[in-house]
Structure 1
């Protein structure tokens, strides 16, 4: 809040030729965060009453006193307001993070990763499934919201020459056991970042559909710009276009996923709750019913993990199944660690991590796959 968010304000300012009103609003937001108190949305804002209800107790207090999940979410709402995203005028609906997302898609790293798919074309299906699940998991390193103040690699990037990072929990076998080929499953995927993370997600979706692990996939994305690189429908389309333009296996996969959207086997949806400052335990009834109807819900990324288990200082050996007992069906978390929150570790693993002396909880060098199958209590 003291360094990354003010730096992001400046990056957004430099990314567009905004006019004086936007510059004044950005300056005001930066000053408010550093030295002022949390101000409510201006009268006339379409969601003013909604945000007052979401956190009335935080207004008039320091930004640093609010729960971080709440203050992060409200920061992004205020940033969108500052640049005129919701107002009638030339900047209405213009994603302030689009230049960062598009630059990543045009980058050489994405080019290399698309070419690498050719190496998997003839790999046996089981081995390919393992590789694609790992790619979807580790793609979260590309989170643009975790860049440092000067634009350098933040905790989401591994240091040069660093040893290969490891899994602190791996329930991948259980994940695949819930999706046997030919089972007619419906899989919900709650996306996190676009670009280098969403492309592997789409490749995994193609594998699920093509090899019968799912008859249908529902991809849930954000309804508006959020956390810099979080995926919206427009980002899904941009990623698919980038894949279809590529030669070889990447182009074939992009074409199949594009067609799957056309036939309804891949359905892209969104919900306002995905930008709410609350844990999934408070999800509304319509979203609860939708996710509960899925054979498995796969939640991607660090923020979704914090919202899934609760953004609290849990002991790391706290039961993952216990923290997610409220969830309306089988759920899997694919997450690269970028925050202190973690549960479900066994004592031996935790002791080894703590002895390592590394910032394993926040550096993006460790990851986890955790699964809680459907229980009799799920409805």
Structure 2
């Protein structure tokens, strides 16, 4: 199908412009105070803040991935950050941020600059309440358990799991669904012999826990023989999950009580016996959509009963970070994907497909920034 223009950030006041102009400088400051970084790293963060309001420069020649990113940058080098594709500029910003804090070399090698935010979220009372609420799942039918766990996974850290257990998602005061094809997802899982389900994770901590509980539900109810959980190979986009975050979440669950502890320990054993597989493909941190997925990753998706793409960034990478007309069919823009795919996403950026013109008009009439505020969500499925 014909492609729409890629989203860029050159319109002052637009959502992508605000990310580059406001959010990234604020994030640099937040990272600066999250860990006791020495003067050399403090200066590197100052330089990064200046660079992101200037033009795009190549990585230092000493960087191990200098050549890779020079190839990825191509004609973008020397241009304004605001004039190149938004998806690319965000990705490159996070690579530069990791370089500034010494993540790839020196004494701060491997220290996640976002770990303080992730750990704090694992210690919140909200997560403790979520874990305690798992005890009430046993009084529900499997179908109602499915609905509660899928909605908790959908809404991430906006979810109140105890409320989800007794209330349908579209009655939840947290937001509204602009598309709900969840029934097609469950039908797809029920309509084939148990196989592999790929889950492409989004954020860590409180958002990762319901993803893991949902994976356990698929395994224990026989809808999946194996769940492959794709995480990032290194820190990315503030909260994105890496392998260490999976381990931290499992430890938090296992140290709780009741069903949460049983689930956490069962998932731990699932990793050990290979029924829950954690993968971290380098392409997960590439500045491209899944149209460019390398053959080995495409084969992974092709072999799955369904691939579940979690979160906003994965949605943008799945459909393409482009100015699609909102009524464009989800099935059309994902036709290239090598197997059945489901998107489970809270809307936090402009991209959306599968929403009729009439529905868009109703949403626009509210005056709310429904595309970017995180108050609306969707479940979309291409099942063949």
TM-score by length of 1: 0.91
SS for the counterpart of 1:223 is coil
Matches within 5 A, 1:1-379: 1-34=20-53, 36-87=54-105, 89-139=106-156, 141=158, 163-180=173-190, 183-374=193-384
Instruction: Give 5+ residue unaligned stretches, structure 2.
Output: 1-19, 160-171
Which string of whole-angstrom CA distances, capped at 9 and with x for unpartnered residues, describes residues 318-339 of structure 1?
0100000100000000000001
Deviation track 1:84-129 (CA, whole Å, cap 9, x = no partner) reads 1111x21011111111100000111111111111121221111101
Secondary structure of the corresponding residue to residue 342 of structure 1: coil
Work out the CA distance in 1 between the residues paired with 2:205 and 2:358. Answer: 36
Does the aligned pair in 1 maintain the 2:228–2:277 contact within 8 Å? yes
Cα distance, 1:56 vs structure 2: 1.7
Cα distance in 1 for partners of 2:305, 2:217 equals 16
Partner of 2:164 in structure 1? none
Question: Quick one: distance in 1 between partners of 2:138 and 2:191?
Answer: 19
Q: After the TM superposition, which segments of 4 or more aligned residues of structure 1 sit over 6 Å from their partners?
A: none
Is the CA contact (8 Å cut-off) linking 1:140 and 1:335 kept in structure 2? no
Q: Hey, what's the Cα distance between the residues in 1 that align with 2:84 and 2:158? A: 27
Alpha carbons 2:370, 2:376 under 8 Å: kept: yes
Q: Distance in 2 between matches of 1:187 and 1:329?
A: 11
Q: CA offset at residue 140 of structure 1?
A: 5.5
RMSD over aligned Cα atoms: 1.4
Aligned length: 353
Please give the alpha-carbon distance, in whole angstroms, between the structure 1 residues aligned to 2:129 and 2:191. 30
- The answer (yes or no) to whether the contact 2:158–2:174 under 8 Å persists in 1 is no
C-alpha distance after superposition, 1:50-105 (max 9, x if no partner): 11111121111121222111111000000010111111x21011111111100000
Secondary structure of the residue aligned to 1:178 is: helix
1:165 and 1:18 map into 2 onto residues whose CA distance is: 39
Distance in 2 (CA, whole Å) between partners of 1:361 and 1:60 is 31
In the alignment, the residues of structure 1 paired with residue 192 and residue 377 of structure 2 have an alpha-carbon distance, to the nearest angstrom, of 29
Q: Would you say the 8 A contact 1:132–1:204 is kept in 2? A: yes
Aligned to 1:155: none
Q: What secondary structure is seen at the aligned counterpart in 2 of 1:196?
A: helix
TM-score scaled to structure 2, two decimals?
0.90
Moved more, 244-253 or 16-25: 16-25
Partner SS, residue 121 of structure 1: helix
The SS at the match of 1:73 is: helix
The alpha-carbon deviation at position 350 of structure 1 amounts to 2.3
Unaligned segments of structure 1, at least 5 residues: 143-161, 375-379
SS at match of 1:179: helix
Deviates more, 1:121-130 or 1:196-205: 121-130
Q: CA deviation at 1:163?
A: 4.0
